[in-house]
Amino acid sequence: AAKKDKVSKKLIKELAPCKAILEDLECHDDAWPFLLPVNTKQFPTYKKIIKCPMDLSTIKKRLQDMYYKSREEFCTDVRQIFNNCETFNEDDSPVGKAGHCMRQFFEARWNDLCTSH
Ligand SMILES: Cn1cc(C(=O)NCCN2CCCC2)ccc1=O
């Protein structure tokens, strides 16, 4: 039991900063394309082109459900959002530009977290 407790304490410590980063992503001015899953009725080709859809509301639920076993898994899901965005949108489109901006914002916050100890 002691070992398990140590692991879970470490995990809570790791994932708390992830929750903070997620909240900052959600309230960013350029977060509007990423708050909810892409509407595949509005964009019928999306499902065919994007094999692993991801969005901020899904990540929020996964955090709440203790789905992530490490902060790396959280980071991978966030990066999936921006990789999908680059695949589906032109760089100079409104959504494409928002994706590049949000990725820069995230990676800076991720570096802070990884270098702060
Ligand atoms: C990530 N992503 C998002 C879109 C998009 O247009 N989202 C709009 C969302 N609307 C804003 C207010 C209501 C719904 C298109 C392509 C794409 O890759």
Residue range 19-32, pLDDT digits in tens: 999 999 999 999 99
Q: What per-residue confidence (pLDDT) applies to 36?
A: 98
Q: What per-residue confidence (pLDDT) applies to 92?
A: 97
- Helix axis angle for 56-64 and 2-26, nearest 10°, is 160
80 lines ligand 1 (CB under 6 A): no
106 lines ligand 1 (CB under 6 A): no
Best of 28, 29, 43, 79 for a ligand 1 pocket test (most atoms within 8 Å of beta carbon)? 43
Residue range 36-85, pLDDT digits in tens: 999 999 999 999 999 999 999 999 999 999 999 999 999 999 999 999 99
Report the percentage of the chain scoring pLDDT > 70.
98
Residues 105 and 102: their CA atoms lie apart, in Å, by 5
Residue nearest atom 7 of ligand 1, based on CA coordinates: 33
- Helix axis angle for 94-115 and 2-26, nearest 10°, is 140
85 lines ligand 1 (CB under 6 A): yes
Residues 7 and 96: their CA atoms lie apart, in Å, by 39
Residues 6 or more apart whose CB falls under 8 angstroms from that of 50 comprise 38, 84, 87, 88
How many Å lie between the centroid of ligand 1 and the Cα of residue 3?
44
Distances from the Cα of 54 to the Cαs of 1, 62, 100, 117, in angstroms?
Answer: 35, 11, 16, 30
Residues 39 and 33: their CA atoms lie apart, in Å, by 10
Q: Is the dihedral of CA 110, 38, 70, 3 positive or negative?
A: positive
* pLDDT exceeds 90 at position 5: no
Q: What per-residue confidence (pLDDT) applies to 3?
A: 82
Atom number in ligand 1 closest to CA 42: 6
